[in-house]
Amino acid sequence: MATRWPNPLCFPPQIAGVALTFLVAVLHTPPFTSAQEQPPPWLLCGPYPPSGNYTENSTYQGNINRLSGTLPKNVSSSPVLYGTGSVGSVPDIVYALALCRGDANASSCESCVATAFQGAQKGCPHFKDVLIFYDLCQLRFSNRNFFPDDDNFATAYYLVGSQVVSKPTDAFDAAVRLLVNTTAGYAAGNSSRRFATGEEGFDGSNPRIYALAQCTPDKTVDFCQGCFGPIINRMPEVFSGVNGGGVFGTWCSFRYEVYPFFSGRPLLQLPVFVGMPPAPATRSQEKSMNKAGKVLAILMPAIAAMLIITVICFWTRRRRLAAQSFEPYSTSSEDIQGDDMLLLDLSTLRVATEDFAETKMLGKGGFGMVYKGVLPDGQEIAVKRLCHSSRQGIEELKSELVLVAKLHHKNLVRLVGVCLQEHEKILVYEYMPNRSLDTVLFDCERNNELDWAKRFNIISGIARGLQYLHEDSQLKIVHRDLKVSNILLDFDYVPKISDFGLAKIFDGDQSKYVTRRVAGTYGYMAPEYAMRGLYSIKSDVFSFGVLVLEIVTGRRNGGLYNSEQDVDLLNLVWEHWARGNVVGLIDPSLNDHHHPPIEQILKCIHIGLLCVQRNPAARPVMSWVNVMLSSSTVRLPSLSRPALCIQEVSATDSSDAYSPERPGASGYTDSSVLMSCNEASITELSPR
């Protein structure tokens, strides 16, 4: 069924009633015939307003053919698989728009758009205005400029499934509306692509429901929401009880099915939908229910008693274990002491930090404070002190203590000692005079200190430290919170990876883990970890790639964006890389130094993009990264679009993370606080 959809937000009020009556009449034609579930392509010839026809071999047809030779390639090379164009002059000018589905690859996108030009001219011969939909792409060309946002009409095609789901249809309809609305909302807020996919469980004849929503990437959030709203509101009238359907428009579209019709895992995973209340029971059902009620009346007290006993036992055991966890260091000192680590007295640390004076504070994190101190032998230290009242951070502190005490590498921060007296839990590190990398890199006054030689050495040092964690140490360790504020710089700007509170050890031959507790920092987390809880050494490789691009460009990946047109750093770099003008993104402060080596900088950008590939298998291991960094003869692999990045803005993310006036997450603190605007909590994500 094809029809024209008037946008009620901007439709001329004097004809809105007539148009709406026409729309309802069309939609109330017999809704569940096989003709309505026809395969693509879906065509609309001459959408409103009528644009007339062109003649064979005319100038207008020649302009269409010229566009068909350039637009498919332009769309497929775009990071968002979207493109527009125009050829000719009035009255033979042709405007065109093409959009590929967000899960398509470049080659299939180019092929689809090229086929759409042919299908449009074949299916709608000599029509000047044609809208055609294929499974993976859509195309519209017209002699009318339909690009402006004030276009009063959005042409739409309704695809209605042929099969009615088994009852209860109300519950199924409610589940579909929830999934489609959630997916459309996510797509509208996705500033880089305006695309989303979703999956939802349904306890009925259809166990899973899948949805896809997409808006043209050049539109704003408000425009996309205004586009999705009216077409989704038509669902109760058009798609009630139907196993699949969709509305495909020039600016926005959605579709749902009871089978996976898109590539890759869904970006959203909703839990099983809780059904609607059941219909009133019949008399025979009431008799059965009365019998069942008598049986339950006998069994329920016994079951309840057993549950109470089980809960009491479980709670008692849990409290006992929790109490033990608050004394995690009751083991012998040999179990926790490294070769160079000391068990320090609290009195010594009080003297070193002037009794933890505020003037000595370097930073403030989710689990406590970090202070600068000086030991009696003159050694400068950074003292990480866990808050007494905090029940959080115990496991993170234990993890950091055990791991760092056993790890020794030039590019890992060294744990000097530990203090466990008078209920204090304190870790003491070597002091880094240049503090964390973010305090230098993102400071407009200090970033001149980082010439390209220093930046390249920082990148190489981080890579060597990660290789040691992943491959060369006795333990195979995933850091899980690698970011710019967790890279400390010593007097010579040698980088040291810090904060191992979220690190995990891989046992045996295991290559990946799945966790229900996702903790880290938005903007640096690999998508498979942030969305599905799946982490491996390739998760750290993704974070390293983000770091490299930040170091080269001098831009934050998780910064505050004030414009809807802004994209995250990864996609911004990719867009410029694809256009061949990525040099324009290099940190301008590097121009203050003499002739930075452009080839080496471009190689680092290439490696950074390689590390943030969507598929973890396409990301290199750190040993190979070090080979690529150090060799001038190794051929770098080809690239594809980076993964979609999730970003949040943190109240603690400041360019002066050590400043007592603006305390933030320092390199010595547990930086998972960046996931929350509340500095006293950890945000734990449960993948949906």
Give the catalytic positions in this structure.
481
User: Cα separations (Å) of 669 from 181, 259, 370, 384?
Assistant: 40, 46, 7, 7
Q: Is the dihedral of CA 61, 62, 67, 68 positive or negative?
A: positive
The β-bridge relationship of strands 361-365 and 368-374 is: antiparallel
If DSSP codes are grouped into helix, strand and coil, which group holds residue 429? strand
Q: What is the DSSP-derived secondary structure letter of residue 468?
A: I
Of 452, 90, 27, 535, the residue nearest 233 (C-alpha): 27
3-state helix, strand, coil in the chain (%, to 5): 40, 20, 40
Nearest to 649 by CA among 681, 671, 677, 678: 677
Nearest to residue 496, comparing CAs of 469, 526, 478? 469
Q: Does the annotation place 384 within a ligand binding site?
A: yes
Determine the number of helices (DSSP H) and then strands (DSSP E) in the chain.
Answer: 17, 24
Q: How many CB atoms lie within 10 A of CB 166?
A: 12
**How far is the C-alpha of 662 from the C-alpha of 640, rounded, in Å?**
39
How many Å apart are CA 544 and CA 470, to the nearest integer?
13
Phi, psi (5° rounding) for residue 249?
-120, 170
φ/ψ of 582, rounded to 5, equals -65, -20
Q: What is the four-CA torsion angle of 313, 316, 321, 325, rounded to 10 degrees? A: 160
Burial class (CB in 10 A: 0-12, 13-18, 19+), 669: buried
**What are the C-alpha distances in Å from 98 to residues 44, 79, 81, 169, 605?**
15, 14, 8, 36, 30
Q: Which amino acid is at 231?
A: I
Radius of gyration of the chain (CA): 30
- DSSP secondary structure letter of residue 47: P
Q: Is residue 641 within 8 Å of 217, Cβ to Cβ?
A: no
Q: Tokens 């569940």 label which residue? A: 32
Q: How many residues does the chain have?
A: 688
Binding residues for ATP: 384
Binding residues: 384
